[in-house]
Amino acid sequence: VLQSKDLGMRPPSPSLPPPGPEVPAPLVLQCFDPSTLRSLAHRIPHVPLVQLLLSPLSKEHPSVGEGVSHHLGREATYGDVPLSEIATYASGIGPAKSVFTSMEPAAARALVDAAHELDLAVHPWTFRREAMYVDRSFESDSEEELRFFYECLNVDALFVEFPDQASMVIERMLNDDSD
C-alpha cells in the first residue's frame, strides 16, 4: 500500500491479488501515524503492522541527515498512545532506540515486558555501526549495543542499516549460549 504526498491512500493495483487471509503476506508494514495503521488494520487484517514511535527526546533522527526532517506532525511519540491501545490495531511497536537508552535498563526491560504481555513484538530502530550513531553508553561499540538490546532487553527484532553485522552478533550470541 503506497501513500501519495497528500497522505491519501492509493487504490490497490489491479495486478495484485486481492488482499485476504488466503494470500500470504511476506511483509510487515510500519508507520508512524496511528490513524493510518488503524485504517490498515481494518483493510488488511492479515498483514502485521508495527507502530513506529519517536523518542520524546527528539523529533529528529540523526540518520536522516542534517537539517532534514521526515516528520509530518502526525507521528506517535513514545508515551502518546498507550500500549494497550496500540495492541488493538498493531502486532508490534518500533520505538526509536533512544526511547530505551534514555531509561534505566530495568525500566527499559519493563517496557519490553509490558509490550510482550499485550502480544506486541518490539522492534527498535535504527541501529548503525558508525560510532556517531551508537548510544554513548556503549562507548562506540555497536556490537555491544546490539547485544544489549537482544540479551538484556529481550527485543524481538531490530531495524538495522547493516544486517550482516546484526547476523554476526546473533550468531555469536547463539554460540556463546551453546558453550
Question: pLDDT tens digits, residue range 43-60?
Answer: 999 899 999 998 887 554
Closest CA to 88 of 136, 123, 37, 126: 37
Whole-number Å distance between alpha carbons of 64 and 19:
32
Tell me the pLDDT tens digit for each residue of 152-172. Answer: 999 999 999 988 988 998 898
Longest distance between any two alpha carbons in the chain, whole Å: 54
**pTM score of the predicted model:** 0.77
Helix/strand/coil for 103: coil
